[in-house]
Homo-oligomer: A and B are copies of this chain.
């Protein structure tokens, strides 16, 4: 997760500051977690693997620097330190302990958010493994929006692709007619079960070896369709 919806963990003991940052971060579309102590912060970081950690140095239970170095024992999560201490030696120590950035209070919200964006940008230079779905002779590269059968690319129209990936998302499970129509054609009205039959036929012709006796794109009579995982 790198764009909006990224998870930010704030470790800060001052309630007023927490409330302020919470509003700023949630208002910018980030998911948000908070801890009031270093112990709690480390434990939450381990549990939830946030995308960025905002760390106040002045914590009651342990030194902020220790939080950073403990975290760095197992994680490369970007850490932005926010601190009232503006001494150069404080900054140097924090940065050398493993922090990625150091912001002195008071600071502007917009600068903080910009630095969070930098951290997120840096966090995954496409580190996230590309989502590729494979099944039998099929390979689907969700990122590139490409479908291969026996390493031969097959072109799918937008609706075909949408229908197919919807089944992939629910791979193995039955997806009802209603659910498919909703997810592929959008909640709007007008979508008829007939569409499903037409497009399932087309998908089978493009993807199945024997379209008339499908191996993976199975019909569940009276209920819906299912992408069969077993062989």
* Interfacial residues, chain A to chain B (CB-CB below 8 A): 76, 88-89, 91-92, 95-96, 99-101, 108, 110-111, 113-115, 117-118, 122, 124-126, 143-146, 153, 157-158, 172-174, 220-223, 226, 230
Contact = CB atoms under 8 A, between A and B. Distances in A.
Given A91-B114, A101-B118, A143-B173, 16 more contacts: A76-B125, A89-B110, A91-B111, A92-B111, A92-B113, A95-B111, A95-B118, A96-B117, A101-B101, A122-B122, A125-B126, A144-B226, A145-B173, A145-B220, A158-B221, A158-B222
A230 B144 CA distance: 13
**Chain B CB within 10 Å — which of A101, A114, A146, A157 has the most?**
A114
Contacts of A108: 88
Contacts of A144: 172-174, 226
Interface SS of chain A:
mixed
A122 B72 CA distance: 13
Contact of A124 (B125, B143, B174, B221): B125
